[in-house]
Amino acid sequence: MNKLFPLGVLLLVCAGAQSTDMMMPDGSKDMYVGMALATRTVAAGEERRVLLRPLLQVQWSNGLFVSASGVAGLHLSETPGLEYGPLLAASNSRQPTDSWRLRGSQPVDGKADGGAFLNYYLGSETRLQSSVFYDTSAHGMRGYVGVQRAANLPDPHHRLAVTAGAYWASSPVMRELYSVSAAAGGVRDYRPDMGLNSLSVGLDWNWALSRQWLVHSGVSATRLGSGAADSPVVERRSFISWSSGLAYRF
């Protein structure tokens, strides 16, 4: 659940970005800005909508990077094959009144979360990824571990990247997202503990239409862990997200 970066960030990106040899979040080395249509199957008390959202991933020569997923960070490592540094992630707010399915749940404040990342390359096209955040709304920890593999196809205009990983969360985070109180109007009492939040597999595809323009498409499949899936606020355990849009590359 991430907020979109404001238009001011897009303007700064277009003005000051420089090239980099590091793999970006989608597994490519492209830097771009654009717009995409995105949607997902319903998971937890949400309405299924098709949204217009920014396409954005950029890194400056000083190591600062941003992406439209709501994450900004800074590369501190000077060691080849190793990436680490601080992260800042935006998050959305949520209220029990937002959906009938959320009745009896806890409110979620939309505050920025601070954390760090550590990535290790197994060759030039594969990297192990990990990150950890302090959730300022729930006052707990959450994190991610995974692997990403980029592939150069026979046609140089196309590039694919596959990512697989697991998201975990401490008890305060799991309870803020998934606990329910019958006394507060929920269908039953539910209080999960720390553990696996979800497993995810994703595919990103970049199609270069020209030197400046590309089509970026992505699809991901997510399966919630038992602690999340058993919550009354969750409509389905497995869901799919996808997006596609046009971006200007520089």
Is 119 part of any domain? yes
pLDDT > 70 in the chain, percent: 89
Mind listing the pLDDT tens digit for each residue in 229-246? 999 999 889 989 999 999
CA dihedral 57, 61, 62, 65 (to 10 degrees): 0
Is 172 part of any domain? yes
Q: What is the mean pLDDT of residues 115-122?
A: 97
Residue the block writes with tokens 């309405």:
47
Mind listing the pLDDT tens digit for each residue in 38-61? 988 765 555 567 889 999 999 999
- What's the confidence (pLDDT) of residue 42? 63
Confidence check: pLDDT of 220 > 60: yes
Is 2 part of any domain? no
Mind listing the pLDDT tens digit for each residue in 124-150? 899 999 999 999 999 999 999 999 999
Is 138 part of any domain? yes
- What's the confidence (pLDDT) of residue 47? 58
Here the contacts of 72-81 (C-beta below 8 Å, separation 24 or greater) are 73/117, 75/22, 80/121, 81/120, 81/121
* Residue 20 pLDDT level (bands cut at 50, 70, 90): low
- What's the confidence (pLDDT) of residue 99? 86
Is 50 part of any domain? yes
Domain with residue 25: its CATH number is: 2.40.160.40
Residue 30 to residue 45: CA distance in whole angstroms? 35
Is 231 part of any domain? yes
- What's the confidence (pLDDT) of residue 149? 96
Residue 7 to residue 68: CA distance in whole angstroms? 11
Confidence check: pLDDT of 115 > 70: yes
* Cβ(85)–Cβ(116) below 8 Å: yes
pTM over the 0.75 mark: yes
- What's the confidence (pLDDT) of residue 116? 98
- What's the confidence (pLDDT) of residue 4? 37
Its domain, for residue 197, covers 7-249
Is 170 part of any domain? yes
Closest CA to 117 of 147, 84, 142, 141: 84
* Cβ(197)–Cβ(168) below 8 Å: yes
Is 1 part of any domain? no
Q: H/E element holding 189?
A: none
In the chain, the number of structural domains is 1
